[in-house]
Amino acid sequence: MCIRDSSEGSAWKTAEFELYELTSFEIDIKNVGLSVFPGGAAELAGSNAPVIRNTGNTPIILSIKGTDFVSGSASLGASSVSFSAGGAYKELSTVQQDLGVSIAAGQEASLSLRVSVPSGTQKAVYMGRIHLSAASP
């Protein structure tokens, strides 16, 4: 580092710092609600798919898990939701699982979601959670 004073004198000094890894991401979701009839399916895919953006300074590996979706005493298992980050769809689980994608710093990836509702499912508004987490490789 060079420091100059008003008399044009200067002095050099070495400054040290340590750069830490920052694992961080944000999600852009255009549409959260889906309408599905029993025996049918609906997707958040293509231009409606949530976009995950790596806002950190290191690559991230994403993992995902979910809860069951409930409405009063009725429920749909977490496995009624499937996800894809560009490959084949996999069933969501209540146990953390690899999303199958690594995102470089400053880059983004789409996460497609599909909800399948078995025939005979009680018509209701079901609520649950999908958890994403990131780690450095």
CA-CA distance, 107 to 120, in Å (whole number)? 42
| 24-135: CATH topology | Immunoglobulin-like (2.60.40)
Query: Which residues are CB-neighbours of 34 under 8 A, at least 6 positions away?
Result: 42, 44, 115
Residuewise pLDDT in 10s, the chain (137 residues): 666 667 766 666 777 778 788 999 999 987 777 788 889 999 888 888 999 999 999 999 999 999 999 999 999 999 999 999 988 999 999 999 999 889 999 999 999 999 999 999 998 999 999 999 999 88
The pLDDT of residue 1 is: 61
* pTM of structure: 0.80
